[in-house]
A = this chain, B = another copy of it.
Amino acid sequence: MMRAAVLRDRRIAVEERARPEPGPGQVLLKIRLCGICGSDLHLAKHAAEIAKLGEEFGAPPQDLSRGLILGHEFIGEIAEFGPETARTLQIGDRVVSVPFLLENGVPKPIGASVDVAGAYAEYMLASEALLLKVPDEVPDEAAALVEPLAIAWHAVAKSGLPPVDAAAVVLGCGPIGLAIVTVLKMHGVEGIVASDFSPRRRELATTLGAAQAISPKDGNALAAAAAASPGKPLVIYDCTGAQGVLGVAVRDAAAGTRIVVAGIAHGEETINPMLGIAKELSIQFVVYYTPEEFAATLQAVADGRLQWRPLLSATIGLNAVDDAFRLLEDPERHAKILIAPWSDAGLPA
């Protein structure tokens, strides 16, 4: 048996579950750490709607009453090899993986449905072919951040920045916005303007490399970026996940601006296409990274090129996950919280 934090009816409770048996090509991972992602919070609130939307697009129906084990930002150690495995790594090796489980060659997202359990648990299945060994010099905490950092890595790559010399505005300084700031900084982008209502998050953005961090109450980040980098084209990263931000960005952006939408917004978004056309804007929605981008992010962390430590705010045990989900709705308190399934740690006061 094992302990797992299970989502059911918008609440998370620790349950005893059968320890999974690795199938062909699979390994059993003993989970060392797993990050709480904004998409986990989103799924906890909107699981039924998201499952319904998935069905409209051809996903099989889900029995959400079975409970869902979230968690896709994990580092684990190899506890057991299933049949038909190459075993080039060793039992006990620390590994990360893109969060997909191969079933008959088909990648299924880990920790996003009732069918493929995630890493909010003591053990989890992973596909041997996707494992990357974590270099010894990389602490567990950094390895658990590779997944969200890879999201940011990909968002920056999709924006064309670099190699284009452009100014950057990051709207929303949750973990993804902050990760984008650190990736931009790694690439040498100057004059990054970050925007968030939370003073704590603005402070983190500055620590990670933003030249300015502005509250939307006090100023306009687009105007600040234009003033700081006159004549440069602008890339806006919308990491707010808030409804209405995209429409405002389309309205306020200067000609030629690229808008990258990395925050998950629920509901509809209204934009004025005539403004989009008149200003030749582009909107790039981003979600995942490629396996190559994931591996490159791990390497950049190992090389010390990517600053990650300021992203972390607490490490907790499974019992505290439900409280953490409530706490994370207050952006003033925390950035990235990690779950250590074998720990009893509660939320810091």
Contact = CB atoms under 8 A, between A and B. Distances in A.
Interface of A: 53, 158, 246, 261-262, 264-288
A270 B273 contact: no
B269 A271 contact: yes
Contacts of A265: 273-274
Given A284-B282, A285-B282, A286-B277, A269 B268 contact: no
Nearest to A252: B57
A285 B275 CA distance: 9
B282 A287 contact: no
Contacts of A286: 277, 280
Given A273-B261, A273-B269, A287 B283 contact: no
A157 to B, nearest CB: 12
A308 to B, nearest CB: 24
A279 B53 CA distance: 13
A226 to B, nearest CB: 13
A265 B270 CA distance: 13
Given A266-B274, A269-B270, 8 more contacts: A261-B273, A262-B277, A264-B273, A265-B274, A268-B271, A276-B285, A277-B286, A278-B287
A246 B273 contact: yes
Nearest to A269: B273
A269 B272 CA distance: 6
A334 B262 CA distance: 43
A288 B266 CA distance: 33
